[in-house]
Amino acid sequence: MYKDYIFRMKSKATGVSSPVKGAAAAGGWEMRPGGMLVQMRNSDSNQNSNPVPNIKVKVKYASSYHEVVISSQASFGELKKLLTGVTGLHTGDQKIIYKEKERDSKAFLDLCGVKDGSKMVVIEDELSRERRCVESRKNAKMEKASNEIAAIRFEVDKVAKQVASIELEINGGKKVVEMVLLNLIELLMTQLIKLDGIAADGDVKLQRRMQVKRVQKYIETLDMLKNKNSGLGKVALQQQQHFSSKTFQNKQEVNKYGKYSERVNAGAVVVTTKWETF
């Protein structure tokens, strides 16, 4: 006994398997770390040697009977998926009654006592169907709202490029036709009205709010550019008037100087003539 213990300890230190352990493994046993010999566990070999049997259950829906072949260890949820093909009911709309009790989708057939040839009834859950229809309509409505917001965002993106181009021109001192600015403001106001008419919840509502703020910002920018553009016209007119006034003054000074020169020249000729007459 003492020698076997010493040999087992040396085997652990050197990595050499003991003859006792090898014999145990060959016989379907395994050695635990504490030295205890237990039966070897192999779930894969157990499953291969003992396959799960299939059973045939009879299901009544309305006035029809259906036979379904399914694993004896399957869940009622898996059974509902198979019944969808023969009954046409959505898995969420099915109620399976077995032994006068409604069975949960997560419950297993074998644990509930279902055997080969067992009978059960399937009925339609009207409340579940109604909730699913309401949810489906809600999702369709949200999807439609999301598509409408995406279309508006596309239009606003195009206007944004035009606003950026016009802003560069006006800031550079170039006057823009005012009708162009008014048309862009009107287009943005139309998109704002469309956004106001979209009913949305959750993330779609947040997307709509972001686009509303974006449109309002571009409208304010265009209003500011329109005022600045009008100012550019006034400055140009003032510069033109100032230039015309300056030109007129220069002409007057030239004319005045010309008349003065003529008078001076005429007087000189008279003086000379008088000297000749004398």
The H-or-E segment that residue 159 falls in is: helix 126-171
Would the pLDDT of 256 be above 70?
A: no
Going by C-alpha positions, the residue among 207, 165, 229, 216 that lies closest to residue 188 is: 216
Q: How far apart are CA 77 and CA 68, in angstroms?
A: 14
Mean pLDDT of the chain: 78
pLDDT tens track for 196-231: 999 888 889 999 999 999 999 999 999 999 999 888
Q: What is the pLDDT of residues 187-201, one digit of tens each?
A: 999 999 999 999 888
Question: What contacts 17, CB < 8 A, 6 or more positions away?
Answer: 11
Cβ atoms within 10 Å of 15's Cβ, excluding its own: 6
**Res 264: pLDDT:** 45
What percent of the chain has a predicted confidence (pLDDT) above 90? 43
Q: How distant, in Å, are the alpha carbons of 91, 163, 222, 230, 237 from that of 179?
A: 61, 13, 12, 12, 19
pTM value > 0.75:
no
81-100 tens-digit pLDDT: 999 988 888 888 899 999 99
pLDDT of residue 233: 60
Element (H, E) at 242: helix 202-277
Q: Which helix (H) or strand (E) holds 272?
A: helix 202-277
CA dist list (Å): 182 to 138, 179, 219: 38, 5, 10
